[in-house]
A and B are shown apart, each in its own frame.
Chain A
Amino acid sequence: MDRRATLMLAVLALLLAGLSALWMFQGLGAGNRGFILSLRATKLAALVTVAVAIGVATVLFQTVAANRVLTPSIMGFDALYVLMQTLMIVLLGNAGFAGLSAGPKFGIDVGVMTALAVVLFGTLLAKGARDIPRMILTGVILGVLFRSVSQFLGRVLDPNEFAVVQAVSFASFNRVDAALLPVAGVLTAVAVMAAIRLSPQLDVLALGRESAVSLGLRYRALVMGTLALVAMLVSVSTALVGPVAFFGLIVAGLAHGAMQNARHAGLIPAAGLIAAILLVGGQWLFERILGQAATLSVVVEFAGGLFFLYLLLKGRIR
């Protein structure tokens, strides 16, 4: 990594550390310190986990798709996860669904999700994604398909079960499933470490299929492996806060802009840090300053949606 990249990462890390301190200790009253601190720490951990998962997943996916407009959620990854959840509720019933203990259930979720995503998106991407409009269209159609099947299943369910489905299908940074946090954190850490280890290969992958094959990269295997990592990370973020469509797009755009260097060894940490800064900073602002007057997820999606349009209008579909 060059000096500029290292410096940038250091600045981002400092910024995140500062925000985290602010999050933890700002407005801390005299009473009940221990309790409030532990509440805040849990929330902070959740926000950082989700942020890193979304940021890194998006950077990885954009490398595989050779394009800066697509994100896993635009391609329907998280809709797939929600569909899977709904199916589980349908198959097991609400009691069965709730009865499964969080850890193993989540493990199964992630496993199934990863397998599905690799099969589905692997076949779409393994030949080298050149036809971008077709990709976007396929993704949108898959997303709509998954969502409508989920909704249809939701309608067949009784109201109690439907409420559970509803809860998993909308993003909220306020409702975090704390029971999942340890598993989710470990999974995210593992996936991010694997991605960083793969980063020299990912740099070659980013050259496009032909150059990568010519340089002796095992293209197909790497595409599949990377998609598996993406699926793991999306499962984590969707399980914790629900589907978030455009946040990753902002993060990946900012990461590329901040690093000015296509090396994944820098891009991946940068994306994680930037995402965490945005989420922790944003949630702090909305929760403590604006007093929940607006919801962070809505604002993030709105800004991200605008950014998506901007990219499309600028013709940056590459």
Chain B
Amino acid sequence: MIQISNLGHKIGGTQILHDISTSFPKGKLTALIGPNGAGKSTLLRLVGRLEPLQQGAITVAGHDVARTPTADLARVMAILGQQTAVASRLRLCELVAFGRWPHHQGRPRPEDRTKVAQAIDAFALSKLKNRFLDEVSGGQAQRAHIAMAFAQDTEWLLLDEPLNNLDMAHARALMARLRDLVDRQGRSVGLVVHEINYAAAWADHVIAMKDGRIMAEGTPDDVLTEAVLSDLYDAPISVGRHKDRPLVLHHA
């Protein structure tokens, strides 16, 4: 479980997060939703210790994020931020291979190579693996980054808008892959999504944020209702049903 208690965060005098207490359940796929600027990325970055903690406490699978050595945390959780530009000139396969670094610190073993090959396979990158990162499309580069986090092979996987740049088929394939991680391998996943229907179709748990606060949390059926969503996005939103899950419609 990821336990967040009384989390506050300020950037340059502005309060970005207000006293947030919540949790990401273990063994579930949790979707973080909310309008632009709600604080989703900030929350995820604090959990992933990409930003130093200012106020409150976060534990990931029992490890206090503020106190656990960062190298140990890297074997417990992988986090992929929203911005993923890489300055150095790398081949796709080299990037994915870095995902194993927390486990071997620069001396890859055979099992590390296997895991990398699996990750490359899982994200349909075999044909592209020898290309340089600046020679592939945005979506392909995004998939390589996700594959790197995937290769890290951690109990927790945190992804900030992983569906960015992905076409419908690859977005679906990614969600199916994450579902599989949760259902068959007992992993836990947290991700930020903007396209609500991906949360509706694939998530077990939804956390809705607005203005640095949590507005609602619970199962997709509880959170993805007309009342909550209209309030969350300040826009009329209707919710139908499809295959016994909510289907969110914004046109009408």
Contact = CB atoms under 8 A, between A and B. Distances in A.
Do A and B pair up? The answer is: yes
Interface stretch (B6-14, B53-61, B77-85, B219-227): B77-85
Nearest to B77: A214
Nearest to A265: B106
B30 interface: no
Contacts of A216: 70-75, 101-102
Contact of A204 (B84, B101, B107): B101
B78 A214 contact: yes
B9 to A, nearest CB: 16
Interface in B107-161: 107, 148-149, 152
- If over half of B's interface residues share one DSSP class (helix, strand or loop), that class is named, otherwise mixed; here it is loop
Contacts of A201: 106
Given A216-B72, A216-B75, A210 B101 contact: no
Given A204-B98, A210-B81, A262-B94, A215 B152 contact: yes
A214 B75 CA distance: 10
A200 interface: yes
A67 interface: yes
B90 interface: yes
A216 B149 CA distance: 12
Contacts of A200: 101, 105-107
Contacts of A67: 87
A213 interface: yes
A125 B95 CA distance: 23
Interface string A192-222: 0000000011011011111101111111000
Interface residues of B, number: 33
Contacts of A213: 48-50, 70
B185 interface: no
A66 interface: yes
Q: Which of A200, A213, A260, A318 has the most CB of B within 10 A?
A: A213
Contacts of B168: none
Interface string A269-312: 00000000000000000000000000000000000000000000
Contacts of A219: 70
B88 A206 contact: yes
Contact of B50 (A66, A204, A207, A210): A210
Contact of B79 (A207, A208, A209, A214): A214
Nearest to B49: A213
A102 to B, nearest CB: 38
B70 A262 contact: no
Interface of A: 63, 66-68, 200-201, 203-204, 206-211, 213-219, 256, 260, 262, 318
23 contacts: A63-B88, A201-B106, A203-B98, A204-B101, A206-B86, A207-B86, A207-B95, A207-B98, A210-B50, A210-B81, A214-B80, A214-B81, A216-B70, A216-B74, A216-B75, A216-B102, A217-B70, A217-B101, A219-B70, A260-B89, A262-B88, A262-B94, A318-B87
